């Protein structure tokens, strides 16, 4: 169950044509190559169906970057988990710090999103992570623990077993300030022990925990060599194949 995963998060970049080109290039780059991780790309909603129909989805998993917290109905502008699943996407990134900060996503909203994602057979890539002041005041472990508890720990063990976690210290996202390999390992081990306390060691050992925040071709190998770091959620460096492929190949 525990897998190595390198997931790209395109955020709000690339129009449809550019995104399709990038996805095709990645598809070509992976052709005939053996890689030691699952590869995922998180595209804007409007790209999902086209990208999923174009790439070899047995090699590249397609992810949305969000989904609605409601099933369906009069929620103008929203995109449901069922709609995401109907495009051929298999994953959904949930709880990214940009969504928590700029779109006021709460633990409760995220809980609903996680449930709807799972109901629609999507794998949530659930993001957690502290802001700089929280780390400087040594609250980072408490913050991360409560983010996990508040949105995920009501799930039964079987459902929790389908979640991928992504630890993304907010101070490292898009800043070029990567967490050190030791900081990542320390937090990932803490997250795994938090999961073990709630669901037992076996579930914890089977949980993939990704690192995100200025991960790139030069630091991926060191980050991924940690026993509790099972891959990365990659923003900036996922927007060009020559930057993204070396991260995939870091495993
Ligand atoms: P970054 O973004 O790699 O550009 O820091 C990571 C993320 O926000 O998922």
- Per residue in 80-107, pLDDT tens? 999 999 999 999 999 999 999 999 999 9
* pLDDT confidence of residue 176: 87
Q: What's the predicted TM-score (pTM) here?
A: 0.98
* pLDDT confidence of residue 83: 99
* pLDDT confidence of residue 77: 98
Residues with CB under 6 A from ligand 1: 9, 168, 173-174, 212-215, 233-237
* pLDDT confidence of residue 1: 81
Q: Which atom of ligand 1 is nearest to the CA of 93?
A: 9
Q: What is the mean pLDDT of the chain?
A: 97
Q: How far is CA 71 from CA 11, 81, 118, 121, 242, in A?
A: 24, 7, 12, 14, 39
Q: Which atom of ligand 1 is nearest to the CA of 214?
A: 5
Detail the DSSP E strand segments found in 45-182.
60-64, 91-94, 123-128, 164-167
Q: Count CA atoms closer than 13 A to 236's CA, side-chain side.
A: 12
User: Over the range 210-219, which residues count as b (16 or more CB within 10 Å of their CB) and which as e?
Assistant: bbbbbbbbeb
In the reported structure, the alpha carbon of residue 212 is separated from the centroid of ligand 1 by a whole-number distance in angstroms of 6
- Per residue in 186-211, pLDDT tens? 999 999 999 999 999 999 999 999 99
- Per residue in 95-152, pLDDT tens? 999 999 999 999 999 999 999 999 999 999 999 999 999 999 999 999 999 999 999 9
The full set of domains in the chain, from first to last, is: 5-61+124-248 (3.20.20.70)
Query: What confidence tier does 177 reach under pLDDT thresholds 50, 70, 90?
Result: confident
């Amino acid at each position: 169950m525990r897998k190595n995963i390198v997931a790209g998060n395109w955020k709000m970049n690339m129009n449809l044509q550019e995104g399709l080109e990038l996805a095709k290039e990645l598809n070509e780059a992976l052709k005939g190559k053996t890689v030691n991780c699952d590869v995922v790309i998180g595209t804007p909603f409007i790209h999902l169906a086209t990208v999923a129909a174009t790439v070899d989805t047995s090699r590249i998993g397609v992810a949305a970057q969000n989904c609605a917290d409601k099933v369906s109905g009069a929620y103008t502008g929203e995109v449901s988990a069922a709609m995401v699943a109907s495009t051929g996407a298999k994953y959904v990134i949930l709880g990214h710090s940009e969504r928590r900060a700029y779109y006021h996503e709460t633990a409760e909203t995220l809980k609903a999103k996680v449930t709807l994602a799972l109901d629609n057979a999507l794998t949530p890539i659930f993001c957690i992570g502290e802001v700089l002041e929280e780390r400087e005041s040594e609250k980072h472990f408490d913050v991360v623990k409560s983010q996990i508890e508040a949105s995920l720990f009501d799930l039964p063990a079987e459902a929790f077993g389908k979640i991928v976690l992504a630890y993304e210290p907010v101070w490292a996202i898009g800043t070029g300030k990567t967490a050190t390999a030791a900081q990542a390992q320390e937090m990932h081990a803490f997250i795994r022990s938090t999961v073990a306390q709630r669901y037992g060691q076996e579930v914890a050992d089977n949980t993939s925990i990704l690192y995100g925040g200025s991960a790139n071709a030069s630091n991926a190998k060191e980050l991924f060599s940690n026993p509790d770091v099972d891959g990365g959620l990659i923003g900036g460096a996922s927007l060009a194949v020559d930057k993204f492929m070396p991260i995939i190949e870091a495993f």
